[in-house]
Amino acid sequence: MTDTPASGADVLEGADSGAALEEDQPVPGETDGPDLGDDDKSPGREDCPSGPFVHITKNLKNTMSVKYSTFAKNDTGSTKDFKFTSKRSGTTTIGGSLNLSADFKVRWVGKLKAEVQGSVQRSWPSELGVEIGGKVKAHKTVYGDYGIMKEKVYGHNAYRATNCSMSNKHYLEVWAPYREGWTLR
Between 124 and 20, the more confident residue is 124
- Give yes or no for residue 45 having a pLDDT over 60: no
> Residue 36 has what pLDDT?
65
Pairing of strands 80-85, 166-184: unpaired
- The C-alpha angle 64, 66, 68, rounded to 5 degrees, equals 150
Q: What is the mean pLDDT of the chain?
A: 88
DSSP letters of 85-144? Answer: E-----EEE-EESS---HHHHHHHHHHHHHHT-TT--SEEE--SS-EEEEEE-TT-EEEE
Answer yes or no: is pLDDT of 118 > 90: yes
- Produce one character per residue of 141-179: b if its CB has 16 or more CB atoms within 10 Å, e if not: ebbbbbbbbbbbbbbbbbebeeebeeeeeeebebbbbbb
- Average pLDDT in the 85-103 region? 96
- Mean per-residue pLDDT for 20-27? 76
Residue 76 has pLDDT above 90, yes or no: yes
Per residue in 126-176, pLDDT (tens digit) is 999 999 999 999 999 999 999 999 999 999 999 999 988 999 999 999 999
Q: What is the pLDDT of residue 33?
A: 64
Q: What is the pLDDT of residues 96-106, one digit of tens each?
A: 999 999 999 99
User: How far is C-alpha 7 from the geometric centre of its chain's CA atoms?
Assistant: 30
The whole-number pLDDT of residue 44 equals 43
In whole angstroms, give the CA distance from residue 178 to residue 23: 15
Q: What integer pLDDT is reported at residue 6 of this predicted model?
A: 53
Name the residue with higher pLDDT: 156 or 40: 156
More confident residue, 3 or 77: 77
Residue 22: predicted pLDDT = 72
- Inform me whether the pLDDT recorded for 1 exceeds 50: no
Q: Where are the domains of the chain?
A: 11-36+48-182
Of the pLDDT bands very low, low, confident and very high (cuts 50, 70, 90), residue 181 is very high
Q: How confident is the model at residue 116, as a pLDDT?
A: 95
